[in-house]
């Protein structure tokens, strides 16, 4: 207690006069600490942080699960899509048509294909597919 009294006096900057007791300048009283309410608060804080930790961890996994679910739905919807055929619009034949055709009457020649590409570029993919299919058969 004397050491604590001296620390308080030094902190306050008080000096005892000659013959004056330290008890007259500063009085200290010893009081027991109340540990019950503090320990209850500590337990309450720990349980709250434990629950918060579970919520934080679960939120990460829930976000990943939702993203995987959305990806799965997208994948299934993509699998149900069927490719649509694009019709080819053949334009009126040119006067030199007889020179371009080979032996078959409906054969698509490279020259005719070039002419179709120049006239309507949107049909390039379909025209090439049809031309390759004719060559294979």
The average pLDDT across 13-37 equals 78
Specify if 88 maps to a domain.
no
Specify if 58 maps to a domain.
yes
88 or 92, higher pLDDT: 88
Specify if 86 maps to a domain.
no
| Phi, psi at 88, each rounded to 5° | -100, 130
What does the pLDDT look like over 65-84, one tens digit per residue?
A: 999 999 999 999 988 888 77
List CB contacts of 86: < 8 A, sequence separation 6 or more. Answer: 123, 125, 126
Identify the DSSP state of 69.
H
The structure tokens listed for 72 are 């799965």
Residues 44 and 75 in one domain: yes
Q: What are the counts of helices (DSSP H) followed by strands (DSSP E) for the chain?
A: 6, 0
Residues 101 and 128 in one domain: yes
Specify if 90 maps to a domain.
no
Predicted TM-score (pTM) above 0.75: no
Domain region containing 59: 37-81
**67-77 burial: b if 16+ Cβ within 10 Å, else e:** eeeeeeeeeee
Specify if 132 maps to a domain.
yes
| Overall domain count for the chain | 3
Residues 76 and 56 in one domain: yes
Specify if 8 maps to a domain.
yes
């Amino acid at each position: 207690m004397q050491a604590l009294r001296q620390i308080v006096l030094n902190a306050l900057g008080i000096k005892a006069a000659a013959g004056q007791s330290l008890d007259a300048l500063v009085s200290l009283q010893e009081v027991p600490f109340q540990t019950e309410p503090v320990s209850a608060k500590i337990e309450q804080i720990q349980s709250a942080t434990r629950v918060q930790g579970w919520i934080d961890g679960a939120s990460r996994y829930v976000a990943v699960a939702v993203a995987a679910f959305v990806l799965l739905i997208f994948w299934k919807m993509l699998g149900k899509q069927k490719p649509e055929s694009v019709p080819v619009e053949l334009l009126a034949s040119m006067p030199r048509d007889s020179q371009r055709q080979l032996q078959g009457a409906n054969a698509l020649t490279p020259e005719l294909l070039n002419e179709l590409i120049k006239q309507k570029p949107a049909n390039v993919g379909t025209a090439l597919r049809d031309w390759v299919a004719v060559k294979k058969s």
